[in-house]
């Protein structure tokens, strides 16, 4: 197992270095001048001001030198400074990362519970009316554009019914809980501040449900197929023939067998949720990595763009690594392969 993990870690490290190189080069050759993008109409027409800005951003050096400096700083944990926030990119990632992670994780939990649960029901009731209904629902979940769903959900649940706030992680101007994990729900509980916890949950639910919708549909279909596949296996019939009770068969045998492919889907979907929250974060004014990346791209904030790219790549790599390891634990045949 140790060798298996070591191999996977080695491959992950190579992948990170490759990602940094590609992200840096692609960003550097983007059209547009990052220095003048920061400057106003009059200042951009003044060569002295433009030169000073280029120098302060390090853009006056040759590209290879910029890359060497960047790599050198990176190894010291320095991702450069963001032009839009005037803070270190690493600090920004620490500030905005947990907001996205909290949202993506909640969406994943909702998707696993709802999608997985409904997938199991659909499989156990295969080809009956409830299965047909659930399959139609899952198709809807996968096909509905997320921005549309977000706007409809906000219009109904925020504007009309006023059940949930429409934006932010807390009410406007509320003071966040003392930072421990960066997850407002957990941190407010740790601080023993129940009203703030309720506020954080209230703000989290609507964007999380919207974000989870496509994944609910996907997981429902996937779980259904996986459970159906396992139900047809000989060992299930053998277990039933031995006289084991229904729940024992389902929880002890069927789910364990169906789990491996579902874990892959959950892992990859979580990573893609984290990377792809841009739309949902924009609509719900959620101060996460998605909003940060959107602004970075529109203001040519190079350090921030590269920083976010590396961050997202790392998440993908770590999630894949975790998935591989989980695979190995659940099915020992995989790590021996």
Partner 1 sequence: MKRSARLVGAAAVTAAAALVFSACSAPADDADAPAVESLVIDKSFDLVTADPARMFETTGGIVLHAVYDSLLTFADGNAEEPLPSVASEWEVNADATEYTFTIRDGITFSDGTPLTAADVVYSLDRVKNIQGNGSFLLDGLSVASPDESTVVITSETPNTAVPAIVTSPTLGIVNSALVTENGGTDAEGAADSDTAEAFLNETSAGSGPYMLESFDTTTETVLVANPEYWGEAPVYDRVVLRNTTAEAQLMDIQSGTAHVALDLGSDQIAGLSGDTIVSTSSSPTIFFLFANANSGVSEITSSPDFREAVKYGLDYDGILELAGEGAERAYGIVPSSYLGALGADGATERDVERATAAAAKLGPNPTINLEYASDFSSNGLSMGPFAERIAAQLAEVGITVNLTPGPIATTLESYRAGTEQMGLWLWNPDYPDSADYLAFGPGEIVGLRAGWAAGSDPELEAVMAEVSTETDAATREELYQEFQKLHNEAGVIIPLFQPAASVVSTSAVGEVLYDPVFSLDIAAIGR
Site for partner 1 in 120-149 (CB under 8 A): 120-121, 124-125
Between 88 and 260, CB nearer to partner 1: 88
In this structure, the chain runs to a length of 337
List all residues 6 or more positions away from 124 whose beta carbon is below 8 Å from its beta carbon. Answer: 227, 250
Between 99 and 319, CB nearer to partner 1: 99
Cα torsion through 236, 242, 243, 247, rounded to 10: -30
Is residue 43 a contact residue for partner 1 (CB under 8 A)? yes
Between 85 and 264, CB nearer to partner 1: 85
Helix (H/G/I), strand (E/B), else coil: 168: coil
DSSP code at position 175 = P
- Of 9-17, 61-69, 136-144, 242-250, the window that binds partner 1 (rule: CB under 8 A) is 242-250
Between 167 and 268, CB nearer to partner 1: 167
Residues 72-101 touching partner 1, rule: CB under 8 A, are: 84-86, 96
Question: What does the alpha-carbon distance between residue 216 and residue 313 come to, in Å, rounded to a whole number?
Answer: 24
Between 5 and 205, CB nearer to partner 1: 205
Is residue 261 a contact residue for partner 1 (CB under 8 A)? no
Can you tell me which residue has the tokens 């999630």?
A: 319
Residues 159-188 touching partner 1, rule: CB under 8 A, are: 159, 162-168, 171-173
Alpha-helical (H) ranges within the chain are 2-28, 34-38, 47-57, 63-75, 89-110, 117-124, 129-143, 146-153, 184-190, 194-231, 234-241, 246-247, 255-275, 278-283, 289-298, 302-330, 332-336
Is residue 323 a contact residue for partner 1 (CB under 8 A)? no
Which residues are registered as beta bridge partners of 88?
81
CB of 16 to partner 1, least distance (A): 26
Is residue 316 a contact residue for partner 1 (CB under 8 A)? no
Which residues are registered as beta bridge partners of 6?
none
Residues 277-306 touching partner 1, rule: CB under 8 A, are: 282-285, 287, 291-292, 295, 298-300
- Of 10-18, 61-69, 114-122, 321-329, the window that binds partner 1 (rule: CB under 8 A) is 114-122
Between 12 and 60, CB nearer to partner 1: 60
Handedness of CA 240, 242, 244, 250 (dihedral sign): negative
CB of 75 to partner 1, least distance (A): 25
């Amino acid at each position: 197992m140790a060798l298996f993990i070591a191999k996977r870690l080695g491959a992950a490290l190579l992948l990170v270095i490759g990602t940094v190189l590609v992200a840096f080069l692609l960003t550097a050759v983007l059209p547009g001048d990052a220095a003048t993008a920061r400057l106003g109409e009059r200042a951009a027409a003044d060569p002295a001001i433009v030169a000073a800005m280029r120098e302060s951003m390090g853009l006056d050096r040759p590209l290879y030198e910029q890359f060497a400096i960047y790599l050198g700083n990176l190894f010291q944990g320095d991702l450069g400074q963001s032009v839009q926030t005037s803070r270190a990119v690493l600090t920004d990632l620490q500030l905005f990362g947990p907001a996205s992670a909290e949202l993506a994780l909640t969406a994943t939990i909702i998707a696993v519970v709802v999608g997985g649960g409904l997938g199991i029901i659909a499989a156990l009731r295969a080809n009956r009316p409830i299965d047909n209904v659930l399959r139609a629902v899952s198709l809807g979940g996968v096909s509905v554009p997320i921005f549309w769903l977000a706007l409809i959900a906000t219009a109904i649940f925020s504007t009309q019914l006023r059940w949930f706030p429409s934006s932010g992680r807390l009410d406007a101007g509320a003071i966040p809980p003392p930072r421990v994990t960066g997850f407002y729900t957990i941190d407010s509980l740790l601080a023993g501040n129940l009203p703030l916890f309720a506020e954080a949950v209230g703000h989290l639910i609507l964007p999380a449900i919207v974000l989870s919708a496509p994944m609910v549909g996907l997981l429902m279909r996937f779980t259904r197929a996986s459970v159906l596949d396992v139900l047809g296996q000989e060992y299930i019939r053998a277990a039933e023939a031995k006289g084991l009770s229904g729940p024992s068969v389902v929880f002890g045998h069927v789910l364990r067998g169906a789990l491996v492919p579902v874990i892959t889907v959950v892992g990859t979907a979580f990573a893609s949720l984290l990377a792809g929250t841009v739309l949902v974060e924009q609509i719900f004014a959620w101060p996460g990595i998605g909003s940060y990346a959107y602004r970075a791209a529109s203001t040519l904030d190079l350090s921030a763009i590269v920083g976010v790219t590396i961050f997202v790549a790392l998440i993908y790599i770590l999630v894949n690594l975790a998935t591989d390891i989980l695979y190995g634990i659940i099915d020992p045949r995989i790590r021996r392969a």
